[in-house]
Amino acid sequence: MRPARILLWAFGLLALLFLVAPVLAVLPLSFSAGSFLSYPLPGLSLRWYADFWTSSFWLPALWNSLRIGTGAALLAGTLGTLAAFGLWRARFPGRMLVLAVAMAPMVVPAIVVAVALLLAFGPLGLSNSFTGLVLAHATLGAPFVVVTVLAALEQFDPVQLRAAAACGASPVRAFRRICLPQILPGVAAGALFAFATSLDEVTVTLFLAGPAQRTLPRQMFSGLNDQLSLTIMAAAMVMVLLSVLLLLAVTLLRRRGEASSR
């Protein structure tokens, strides 16, 4: 192995260790038998996981996060796919400007998006509601769907759509029967990224959610401010496990997409 390649691998491993080290340092505290954030651990216990799964605060927050994330992923997947397909097919002046607007929620600070959504949703009665949170989280997740679907469409031959039209298929039928099955891994990967974005979102939720829409990240934020408990570490472990499962799902979808494009 060449020295440059060894150096590149070493740099990559150090960067990965730098990113993962805080998680590895904090998560063992979820198994602590003590009541404080301290090392060395006084002992091992599952008491904080038992408190998480039996709590009247943490468990509803987890279910709210899963419900909102699922709704946001489905909505973002649908709208993001349609937007990406339109941008891919259309050739018009200002196309890049439209794409930049579609990507804006990905780069604009979350606090700016939260204030804008609060001002927009307030007069419509969508603040303090599950519908408003789903729409807000879908707005944040849609850019990820646009990116992944556009990448999948780059591997799709548009001649197939013209051939379908020549055979009498309508544009909707041609998209549904020919294009969508081939770009489906990209759509699913984007929807999973949208779900992960919703699962991790706290700023927009703090602005838009009411007491009945308490999500897991918001509950963790409130727990850090109100009363510090190691149950937060158990909740963090649940979040990490969900993130790992989503990452594995995205990896499998990417491999499936690469295999189908060969």
Q: pLDDT (tens digit, 9 = 90+) per residue, 102-128? A: 888 888 888 888 888 888 888 888 888
pLDDT score at 261: 54
CB 220 within 8 A of CB 205: no
pLDDT score at 227: 64
d(CA 200, CA 182): 30
Domains of the chain: 41-261 (1.10.3720.10)
d(CA 174, CA 221): 47
d(CA 105, CA 16): 27
pLDDT score at 1: 55
pLDDT score at 32: 79
pLDDT score at 34: 73
* pTM, two decimal places: 0.82
Residues (pLDDT < 70) of the chain are: 1, 223-227, 253-254, 256-262
